[in-house]
Amino acid sequence: MNFSFLHSHTGAKRAAFSKPLDSVSGLRFALDPASVPPSLRLSNSSLTVTYHGGDPPSPPPRVDGGGTVPSDPGLTLPEARADVVIGRGQYYWEVDVCNSSVYRIGVRSADGSGGLWLQRLGPSFSAVYDTTQEPLCTVPPQVKTIGVFLNLGGAALSFHNPLTQEHLATLPTLFHPAGVRPALCLGQGRIKLRCGLPPPLHVFLCKDSTYRGPRRAGAGRWDGDTQFQSVRKVIQKFEGLNVSDPESSFGSSCSTSAVLPDLHWTGPSE
């Protein structure tokens, strides 16, 4: 039977069967009060966090060439992490961004060595991983809720617009073997976590976002029609190539441009 190992932040471990428990009814968790810095205020339910620090950081200067740019090492946002470590399975949760325009939504490796994020700084959205960020033009600035689909078996973290049921971005990755913790970073306003939700059908259909932000010459692979493809689409392409050329292997019958790159954690393996 398919099951997922979930660890509490205290180190206790429980086995949660994804059929018909967590993956169907949704995984319930909260933000860990021990992880919340003084500049963030946690609600009694441990599901809503409000920023109480100084002025929010300024958006990064625009780069005319677009594409992949180093993540600003001086930019740090106060971070709150969930009270569970997820080591296997697939789970979905949503984040209401309320009135905030400075935040990161994603996961942090269990040992704290790396993170995968969808980031907003003012009008600018980007995908952030390790020390690199890539502009995203598929996220509408008026978005109020962001769905997060963590698929450890499929080696991907994807972000969705629940209102329009559209896919915003997918980060293919090799997750840290110790597992990951859902996490939020906040530099202004308030955001609210919504968990206990089963994965909705639209996260598997991967209907692409119809929104396109301002285009720039030389934009990176996250922009427009050259954004990362879903794992499902790549598999379908491989299967089609294999049927049309049964004597060829995947490696010789497909273009290397169709292969998804892996994003690796920078922390040491355990």
> Would you list the DSSP string of the chain?
--EEEEEETTS-EEEEETTTTHHHH-----B-GGG--TTEEE-TTSSEEEE-SSSPPPPPPP-TT-S-EE--TT----EEEBSEEE-SSEEEEEEE-TT-SEEEEEEEETTSS-EEEEEEETTEEEEEETTEEEEE-SS-TT--EEEEEEETTTTEEEEEETTTTEEEEEEEEE--TT-EEEEEEEEESEEEEEEEEPPPTHHHHTPBP-------TT--TTSGGGSPPPHHHHHHHHHHHHHH-TTS-HHHHS-GGGSPPPEEPSSPP-
Q: What pLDDT sits at residue 58? A: 56
- 147-177 as b/e: b if 16+ CB within 10 A: bbbbbbebebbbbbbbeeebbbbbbbbebbe
CA-derived radius of gyration, the chain: 19
Q: Which band of pLDDT confidence, cut at 50, 70 and 90, is reported for residue 262?
A: very low
Q: Which of 12-21, 79-88, 230-239 has the lowest mean pLDDT?
A: 12-21
| Cα torsion 42, 97, 77, 110: sign | positive
Cβ atoms 129, 116 nearer than 8 A: yes
Q: What pLDDT sits at residue 64? A: 39
Flag whether pLDDT at 123 surpasses 50: yes
Higher local confidence (pLDDT), 219 or 77: 77
Partnered with residue 104 across adjacent β-strands are 119, 185
Flag whether pLDDT at 5 surpasses 80: no
Which structural domains are found in the chain, ordered by start? 33-57+72-205 (2.60.120.920)
Separation between Cα atoms, residue 3 and residue 27, nearest integer Å? 13
Separation between Cα atoms, residue 202 and residue 254, nearest integer Å? 28
Q: Which band of pLDDT confidence, cut at 50, 70 and 90, is reported for residue 56?
A: low
Q: What pLDDT sits at residue 24? A: 58
Separation between Cα atoms, residue 68 and residue 160, nearest integer Å? 22
Separation between Cα atoms, residue 161 and residue 147, nearest integer Å? 6
Tokens 């969705």 sit at which residue? Answer: 160
pLDDT digits 0-9 by tens, 178-215: 999 999 999 999 999 999 999 999 999 878 888 877 65
Flag whether pLDDT at 170 surpasses 50: yes
pLDDT digits 0-9 by tens, 101-112: 999 999 999 998
Flag whether pLDDT at 217 surpasses 60: no
